[in-house]
Amino acid sequence: MRCDVVNHASVDALAAAVRDLGPLYGLVNNAALANGVGGKEFQDIDIEVWDRLMTVNARSPWLVSKALYPLFAAPGRIVNIASDAALYGSERLAHYIASKGAVIALTRAMARELGDRGITVNAVAPGLTECEATETVPAERHGLYRVNRAISRPQQPDDLTGIVSFLLGEESRYLTGQVIAVNGGFTMN
């Protein structure tokens, strides 16, 4: 089903459709805006661009989780997709980093609130992944990742499926409020 994750009515329609299917056991908040970001210092970012990124990247995981939460059966799993940029602090990405930092903070807050209700909430923080959204990322940023990863090959979308599957599964039942960087060792805790 198509859903505009920034539109309250569209999210409510999604919730109504899911309600008709039965209980919900897992949710991955993966919608994000990344194309066309980068290159401007924080003081040069247009207010409209800042607000759009915050709406799509930070507000939508909250909005979707809020609408779908009542449909969860325990045990339930929520996985929010953040970004390692929020962990690294890349320059000329202040709006993107702020939005993904908000996803990390939201993950931790939701984990505290939902833990005793049988729902875990974790975040995956991918590195620069080769996909349509990163085709416009400047070559210098791709080079930064290539030089500084412990695993130097480019990151692919399939590099994320294993950890997301794990976080949605029974094996992760006692793991909540965590941010797992999947970036070939670009950032290390």
H helices present in the chain, as ranges? 8-21, 47-53, 60-68, 85-88, 94-114, 139-148, 158-168
pLDDT tens string 157-186: 999 999 999 999 999 999 999 999 999 999
The residue whose two tokens read 């930064």 is: 144
Distance CA 108, CA 123 (A): 9
Q: What is the 3-state secondary structure (H, E, C) of 62-85?
A: HHHHHHHHHHEEEEEEEEEECCCH
Annotated catalytic sites, by residue? 96
The CATH number for 8-182, chosen from 3.90.550.10, 3.40.50.300, 3.40.50.720, 3.40.449.10, is 3.40.50.720
Phi then psi dihedrals of residue 177, to 5 deg: 75, 15
The residue whose two tokens read 């609408």 is: 67
- pTM of the predicted model, to two decimals? 0.95
pLDDT tens string 63-83: 999 999 999 998 999 999 999
